[in-house]
Amino acid sequence: MDVELFENLRLELRRGSLTLAVLAQLRTELYGYALRKALDSHGLAIDENTLYPLLRRLENQGLLTSHWREEDKRNKRFYRLSPDGEIILYRLLNEHEAMNSAIDRIMAPIPSQQPTETRFEPTALEPKEQLQ
């Protein structure tokens, strides 16, 4: 198996999922580090070098709002889903659900077909009758 190919496809799949997860998590206001911890607590680890550019991109696209606030004697940038971001989030969630349902249907076991005529089953023969 081509490890590099798998890794590239895995990262491509992960990118879209991270965007959806960040939008969903930011239904409540959080600053960057708290957002990382919240995502991690749900089993979705994200590196700072991935998170902060993603936050900037989503804010530039109008999906997030942010503001600076002092907390624990430190200035922190807090992010929250914008009204447009909320609309996009729910549209993306519907799309995600539809895609997962389609994949589940594709991956479902194919019902076995009932034979219309008797098939030859070599394993049903007595050992002396089996072909060598």
pLDDT digits (tens, 9 = 90+) for 31-56: 999 999 999 999 999 999 999 999 99
H or E element at residue 75:
strand 74-81
pLDDT given at position 89? 98
Alpha helices for the chain (secondary structure H): 3-25, 32-41, 48-60, 83-107
pLDDT given at position 1? 75
pLDDT given at position 130? 42
For residue 71, list its beta bridge partners.
74
H or E element at residue 106:
helix 83-107
132 lies in some domain: no
Contacts of 15 (CB under 8 A, 6+ apart): none
Phi, psi for residue 75 in degrees, rounded to 5:
-80, 130
98 lies in some domain: yes
72 lies in some domain: yes
Mean of pLDDT over the chain: 88
48 lies in some domain: yes
Read off the DSSP letter of residue 28: S
Instruction: Provide the domain count of the chain.
Output: 1
Going by pLDDT thresholds of 50, 70 and 90, the confidence category of residue 81 is very high
For residue 54, the domain's CATH number is 1.10.10.10
Neighbours of 62 (CB within 10 A): 12
Counting residues of the chain whose pLDDT is more than 90, the rounded percentage is 78
114 lies in some domain: no
125 lies in some domain: no
131 lies in some domain: no
Going by pLDDT thresholds of 50, 70 and 90, the confidence category of residue 128 is very low
1 lies in some domain: no
Q: Domain range holding 50?
A: 9-104
